[in-house]
Amino acid sequence: MLALQGAFALHLDALGRLGVEGLEVRTATDLAQVDALIMPGGESTTMSMLLESQQLFAPLNTAIQGGLPVFGTCAGMILLSAEILDGRSDQRCFGALDMKVRRNAYGTQIESFETDLDVAGLDEPFHAVFIRAPGVEALGPGVEVVSSHQGEPVLCRSGAVLASSFHPEVTNDDRLHRLFLETIAGA
Amino acid sequence: MSEQETNRETGSPLVKRGLAEMLKGGVIMDVVNPEQAKIAEDAGAVAVMALERVPSDIRRDGGVSRMSDPEMIQGIQETVTIPVMAKARIGHFVEAQILQSLGVDYIDESEVLTPADETHHIDKWAFTVPFVCGATNLGEALRRISEGACMIRSKGEAGTGNIVEATRHLRSILGDIGKITKADNAELFEWAKQLQAPLPLVQEIAETGELPVPMFCAGGIATPADAAMTMQLGAQSVFVGSGIFKSSDPSRMAEAVVQATLNYQDADILAKVSTGLGEAMKGLEMATLETKMAERGW
């Protein structure tokens, strides 16, 4: 669990409910001990800077290119993307998902919303909370859209990488965490 | 598609509290112009608080302190990509309406400004934008939550660069939460009465062991060590007001406070980031204060 800033404690609660041990990752030494990683929601610009100052960006990049299963939510999706629109010029991303994302695509906090989504692989709709959420603007051919909202992709997968523009950790519905652990991380 | 549109909801408690969750483990910095906002964002702030004067200047200048000029707030919104918060006076629901109209991401109903109502706080449920409110004790925190606040911050004593009041407020709030988790059901009624707080919120705390909303710290943080101490005491993020831009090297101080908030348990890193920062803001002793801002609000 990447624990530089943001809603990492809520993700750890979800992992705990699923009987999975979650480790807070703040250094390269922590990273070496995990089998899969979740990148939480939070401020993507802050996280990008802290990844650098904690000397975590390069080892994490190597791990992701080497096939580490990763689930990124909101800011995590931004970090996993290939190109960031409306970000800071010095903001970095891992390019693990061949897609462009626009930060705060839905507007400021008063435009933040919750809604039900149909998700491929889940029987019942998933209640999703979007907080100053990013929007996916362009997708490469290798990226599978697992769920959309009003025609826009909001949950995407490519290989061992899953990313949502919403926050599955703020509700008590653990189905997406389970989906990630079982079908992607092979737990 | 039509089904998705009908159940799409903005301004719900979950959506409002959600942003506070995303700000955890971060630093929210007071800024008075776009240049300062840029420095804050460059240093890794998770949000900025736009206000006309930092608390230490409000304290020095005196007079009535109000919501900032919308032009200044918009200038900051155009400059940074991180969330922008702004302050409304306690009870001044029209300032809050204006701030919501400007599209700020969070409103701080703040004791740092001069209160506009001596009895009532803003009915925060009536707004789409979320609110943060200050508290000196658990009762005050729960009253603010019952009015719709989605984030609580300890008040501390703003503009003093003195951490002692923030420490008192954090210890008081978190200490009482600890005691409530050990109380039996019958004692919870007495707790609610003593705290002058709604019983269901007291019962919720007894069950979960924490406030129903995120709990941040504000008021008097002037150094990286101050930030780390409030995090070790149990704050989930820190607000830094005058402490950044009243120091001799704001950019370095801002970065150091961000590093200290992340690495708050690692004394080696804290030592490193505390080194050579220049002068911290000049602090004030509590006994010398003419106005105690923390006493505003009820």
Tens digits of per-residue pLDDT, A30-81? 999 999 999 999 999 999 999 999 999 999 999 999 999 999 999 999 999 9
Sign of CA dihedral B144, B150, B151, B157: negative
The type of residue at A161 is V
Q: Return the C-alpha torsion angle B223, B228, B234, B240, nearest 10.
A: 30
3-state SS assignment for residue A102: strand
CB B171 within 8 A of CB B215: no
Instruction: Name the nearest CA neighbour of B169 among B136, B145, B139.
Output: B136
Instruction: Name the nearest CA neighbour of B223 among B155, B298, B277, B148.
Output: B277
**Per-residue pLDDT band at B235 (split at 50, 70, 90):** very high
CB A10 within 8 A of CB B222: no
Q: Which of A6, A88, A111 sits opposite B22 (nearest CB)?
A: A6
Half-sphere exposure of A71 (CA within 13 A, CB side): 23
Mutate to test the interface with A, among B10, B108, B272, B273 (most CBs of A within 10 A): B10
Contacts of A178 (CB under 8 A, 6+ apart): A18
pLDDT of residue B259: 97
Predicted ipTM of the assembly: 0.94
Average pLDDT of chain B, as a whole number: 95
| Residue B242 distance to chain A (closest CA, Å) | 21
pLDDT of residue B5: 54
Instruction: Name the nearest CA neighbour of A3 among A61, A35, A47.
Output: A47
Residues of chain A contacting B28 with CB distance shorter than 8 Å = none
Given a cut of 90, whether residue A180 has pLDDT beyond it is yes
Given a cut of 50, whether residue B8 has pLDDT beyond it is yes
Please check whether residue A127 lies inside any domain of the structure: yes
pLDDT of residue B286: 87
Catalytic residue among A11, A149, A169, A177: A169
pLDDT of residue B176: 98
Q: Is A148 on the interface with B (CB under 8 A)?
A: no
How many contiguous H segments (helices) and E segments (strands) does chain B have? Answer: 14, 9
Residues A101 and A95: their CA atoms lie apart, in Å, by: 11
The per-residue pLDDT for range B262-279, each reduced to its tens digit, is 999 999 999 999 999 988
Residues A121 and A116: their CA atoms lie apart, in Å, by: 15
- Average pLDDT in the B45-72 region? 92
Residues of chain A contacting B106 with CB distance shorter than 8 Å = 109
Contacts of A107 (CB under 8 A, 6+ apart): A132, B103
- A117 with B4: Cβ contact below 8 A: yes
CB B127 within 8 A of CB B107: yes
| Residue B259 distance to chain A (closest CA, Å) | 8
Q: Which residue has the tokens 């653990």?
A: A174
pLDDT of residue B1: 43
Q: Which residue has the tokens 């006309």?
A: B52
pLDDT of residue B298: 83
Give φ, ψ of B20 to 5 degrees.
Answer: -60, -40
Please check whether residue A2 lies inside any domain of the structure: no
- Average pLDDT in the A162-179 region? 96
Sign of CA dihedral B41, B43, B46, B48: negative
Q: Find the closest chain B residue to A76 by CA distance.
A: B22
Given a cut of 50, whether residue B2 has pLDDT beyond it is no
Q: Report how far apart, in Å, the C-alpha atoms of B257 and of each of A150, B226, B229, B238, B274 are.
A: 41, 9, 11, 9, 9
The per-residue pLDDT for range A130-162, each reduced to its tens digit, is 999 999 999 999 999 999 999 999 999 999 999
**Per-residue pLDDT band at A163 (split at 50, 70, 90):** very high
Please check whether residue A83 lies inside any domain of the structure: yes
Domain extent for A173: 8-186
The per-residue pLDDT for range B9-43, each reduced to its tens digit, is 999 999 999 999 999 999 999 999 999 999 999 99
| Residue B32 distance to chain A (closest CA, Å) | 20
Provide the number of structural domains found in chain A: 1
Look up the CATH number of the domain holding residue A129: 3.40.50.880
Please check whether residue A1 lies inside any domain of the structure: no
pLDDT of residue B52: 87
Residues B82 and A73: their CA atoms lie apart, in Å, by: 17
pLDDT of residue A27: 96
**Per-residue pLDDT band at B290 (split at 50, 70, 90):** confident
pLDDT of residue B6: 58
Instruction: Name the nearest CA neighbour of B156 among B286, B58, B43.
Output: B286
**Per-residue pLDDT band at B168 (split at 50, 70, 90):** very high
Angle B164-182/B199-208 helices, nearest 10 degrees? 80
Please check whether residue A53 lies inside any domain of the structure: yes
Given a cut of 80, whether residue B4 has pLDDT beyond it is no
CB B45 within 8 A of CB A46: yes
pLDDT of residue A153: 97
**Per-residue pLDDT band at A185 (split at 50, 70, 90):** confident
pLDDT of residue B3: 47
Q: Is A6 on the interface with B (CB under 8 A)?
A: yes
Given a cut of 60, whether residue B250 has pLDDT beyond it is yes
3-state secondary structure B45-69: CCEEEECCCCHHHHHHHCCCCCCCC
Q: Report how far apart, in Å, the C-alpha atoms of B244 and of each of A4, A43, B66, B180, B265 are.
A: 21, 20, 22, 36, 21
The per-residue pLDDT for range B179-233, each reduced to its tens digit, is 999 999 999 999 999 999 999 999 999 999 999 999 999 999 999 999 999 999 9
Please check whether residue A3 lies inside any domain of the structure: no
Q: Which of B21, B24, B82 sits opposite A45 (nearest CB)?
A: B82
Active site residue B182: no
Q: Which of B1, B19, B259 sits opposite A112 (nearest CB)?
A: B19
The per-residue pLDDT for range B59-99, each reduced to its tens digit, is 889 889 999 999 999 999 999 999 999 999 999 999 999 99
Please check whether residue A174 lies inside any domain of the structure: yes
Please check whether residue A42 lies inside any domain of the structure: yes
Q: Is A171 on the interface with B (CB under 8 A)?
A: yes
- The answer to pTM > 0.90 is yes
